[in-house]
Amino acid sequence: MTTLSDAEIEALLLSLRVSSVAVLAALPFALAAALLLARRNFPGKILVDAVLHMPLVLPPVAMGYLLLVVFGTRAGLGGWLYETFGIRFVFNWTGAVLAAAILTFPFQMRAIRLSLESVDAGLSDAARSLGARTFDRFRNVTLPLALPGVVAGAITAFAASLGEFGAIITFVSNIPGQTRTLPLAIYTALQTPGGEAAAARLAALSILLALIFMTLAEFAQRRARSFFA
Amino acid sequence: MSVDVRLRHRQGAFVLDVAFESEASGVTALFGPSGAGKTTIVHAIAGLVRPQEGRIAIDGRVLFDSNRNVDVPVEDRRVGLVFQDARLFPHMRVDDNLRFGWRRAKERMSEADIARIVEMLGLGPLLARTPARLSGGEKSRVALGRALLASPSLLLLDEPLAALDAARKAEILPYLERLRDEARVPIFHVSHSVDEVLRLADRVVLLDRGHVAGKGSVFDFAAGEIGQLLPATGAVIDTRLEGHDGGLSLLSFEGGRLAVARMAAPLGSRLRVRIRAEDVLLAREEPRAISANNVLAARIASLRDIGNGQVDVHLACGRARLTARITQASTARLALKPGEMVFAVLKSVILDPRALRGVGALE
């Protein structure tokens, strides 16, 4: 129970790598979407809002299937990416990243949007009257104040991404060292005769990781509140 | 050198329609009850509200002109705005808050000037703190400093004292007085407090329900001669400390001299005194053997019946103006008429508290 096998360590490291890259890759898109929703009003905003939240409620398996349809090597976009740039998502760890990034994107977007909305617009007016232009105000006033919220969103997305299963196994299969992340390793262990002990170890590990990262996220949120205390 | 403001702006049922011109020096009070449109005016000058019609210019520099489609963006106006609620950046230390506008100014003031303002507003001990660790009064002072460091061509104070309790107000007012006396920036001060106006302003624009109800010097304002909104509150006289005589200090002004309890301020200090209308007695002949230290010869400018059997007698004393509030019976008994000479006996003279504490001694 105490020591992890090489394969289990491999699954753990792969999970951490997939999740970190997924969170970083989704961050700019989440920031742009959050800015759009927090700061602009336009016709169809409700629909855009709903579409951006889809990954949160769509069955992950359905999302994996959609990814396969769009990014498979024989699909339109996927085929073009493969032939033009040699970028291949299927059966590759980058595919797991893509799936995790899309599925956890709403966590980041929501957290960033909420923290942007909680930054007092009056501070932006004050910065304007002191000579700060649009980007300057965003960079030096709004963003730093929203940052703890952004960080909390990223950590939540990271933790959620560690648990992603359905979309990954559907889109990029279950390949050791490439796409077998922690949840897939647990699933594999359960499929293997006598694998219950391994499954228990990996499950315990998952619980530990979730606890650590949710505590960190809460910590970041409190930091945000302390500005205004 | 003037600030020219002409605005028409409709916001729901509220219509703002004002036009006034004010010297671009000293303190102009925008005075009126809440709902008079004071904040809308300063926000329009700062550029945060875009009026439907009008023209705003500072020293001939046009910031807004609806006829010629001029609308200089807020960030290019060089108009400092101090909000009611300070609006300090919570993630920056006081020092970085102060320098926020300074860093972005086209012509930055020197470090020596910064040091002077930091000293003037007593900000030295606060520089390393974050806004969360400041009291309400300290926040107001930092907000003032932050606006000044950006080298504005006009400083707008939107009721910077309104959010503070009486004790904090009393703490800030002396700093505003120093600002008036020492900073070479014209100031528009939004206020609905008569007391603040009498202490700080050089001139007053009286606003009522979106219109200019009157304008004039603070001396006119004190004498109740601006608009019909207010009765006289007394007199404001700007004086200079001339010398000391035993337990008294002598303050001179064009028209006479006042004796007040001895103070520590250096000779030549500018001091504003206030004399309440209720504290002025009138006599036909010069009273002798009287406990009051101050008896001034004055000419009656006008009489105004303010009801309740009371009359405000407006007096000219050289260039200074005084108001005496006496009863109708006394007016009749003394047969007071405009143009005649009387003696005004001042029961008490109110001084800026900082003069009494000798804080005015700072260069």
Considering just the CA atoms, what is the radius of gyration of chain A in Å?
A: 20
* N residues, chain B: 363
Helix (H) or strand (E) holding B355: helix B353-357
| pLDDT band, residue B268 (cuts 50/70/90) | confident
* Nearest-angstrom CA–CA distance, B113 and B121: 12
The strand pairing partners of B18, in sequence order, are B7
Rounded mean pLDDT of B239-265?
87
* pLDDT for B184: 81
B-contacting residues in A 5-44 (Cβ below 8 Å): none
* pLDDT for B33: 86
Rounded mean pLDDT of B252-260?
88
* pLDDT for A76: 78
* pLDDT for B181: 78
**Whether residue B32 has pLDDT greater than 50:** yes
Are A107 and A156 in contact by the 8 Å Cβ rule? The answer is: yes
| pLDDT band, residue B20 (cuts 50/70/90) | very high
Closest CB to B80 among A127, A129, A132 = A129
Helices (H), chain A: 6-39, 45-57, 60-71, 76-85, 93-118, 121-129, 134-137, 143-162, 166-172, 182-191, 196-226
**Domains defined along chain B, listed by start:** 2-230 (3.40.50.300), 235-239+271-361 (2.40.50.100)
Spell out which residues of chain B touch residue A127, defining contact as CB-CB under 8 Å. Answer: 89, 100
Rounded mean pLDDT of A87-110?
91
**Whether residue A168 has pLDDT greater than 70:** yes
Are A165 and A60 in contact by the 8 Å Cβ rule? The answer is: yes
* Nearest-angstrom CA–CA distance, A167 and B156: 58
What is the CA angle B163-B167-B168, rounded to 5? 45
* pLDDT for B360: 37
Predicted confidence (pLDDT) per residue in A115-151, tens digit = 888 888 899 999 999 999 999 999 999 989 988 888 8
**Whether residue B353 has pLDDT greater than 60:** no
| pLDDT band, residue A14 (cuts 50/70/90) | very high
* Nearest-angstrom CA–CA distance, A92 and A97: 9
Residue A57 contacts by C-beta under 8 Å, 6 or more apart in sequence? none
Q: Does B47 touch chain A (CB under 8 A)?
A: yes
**Whether residue A216 has pLDDT greater than 70:** yes
**Whether residue A185 has pLDDT greater than 50:** yes
Provide the 10 A C-beta neighbour count for residue A182: 24
**Whether residue B359 has pLDDT greater than 50:** no
Rounded mean pLDDT of B150-161?
91
B-contacting residues in A 134-193 (Cβ below 8 Å): 136, 141, 144-145
* pLDDT for B78: 92
Residue B353 contacts by C-beta under 8 Å, 6 or more apart in sequence? B170, B173, B174
Rounded mean pLDDT of B153-182?
82
Whole-model pTM?
Answer: 0.78
Best of B78, B96, B100, B149 to mutate (most A CBs within 10 Å, chain A):
B100
Closest CB to A133 among B48, B75, B100 = B75
Residue B85 backbone class (left: φ over 0; alpha: ψ -120 to 50; beta: rest): alpha
Are B290 and B343 in contact by the 8 Å Cβ rule? The answer is: no
* pLDDT for A170: 92
Predicted confidence (pLDDT) per residue in B295-348, tens digit = 999 999 988 888 888 998 999 988 888 899 999 999 999 989 999 999 999 988
* Nearest-angstrom CA–CA distance, B242 and B317: 18
**Whether residue B356 has pLDDT greater than 50:** no
* pLDDT for B363: 28
Q: Does B45 touch chain A (CB under 8 A)?
A: no
Q: Of B355, B18, B9, B30, whose CA–CA distance to B186 is shortest?
A: B30
* Nearest-angstrom CA–CA distance, B344 and B315: 9
Tell me what percent of the residues of chain B surpass a pLDDT of 70: 95
Interface confidence, given as ipTM, is 0.78
Q: Does A128 touch chain B (CB under 8 A)?
A: yes
* pLDDT for B358: 40
Considering just the CA atoms, what is the radius of gyration of chain B in Å?
A: 22
Rounded mean pLDDT of A67-86?
83
Q: Does A130 touch chain B (CB under 8 A)?
A: yes
Q: Does A200 touch chain B (CB under 8 A)?
A: no
* pLDDT for B238: 87
Best of A129, A225, A227 to mutate (most B CBs within 10 Å, chain B):
A129
Predicted confidence (pLDDT) per residue in B191-246, tens digit = 988 888 888 899 999 999 999 999 998 888 888 878 765 667 788 888 888 988 88
Question: What angle, 0 to 180 degrees and rounded to 10, lies between the N-to-C axes of helices A6-39 and A182-191?
Answer: 140
The CATH number of the domain covering residues in A6-226: 1.10.3720.10
Q: Does B183 touch chain A (CB under 8 A)?
A: no
Closest CB to B79 among A125, A129, A226 = A129
Burial bucket for residue A84 (CB in 10 Å: 0-12, 13-18, 19+): exposed
Q: Does A75 touch chain B (CB under 8 A)?
A: no
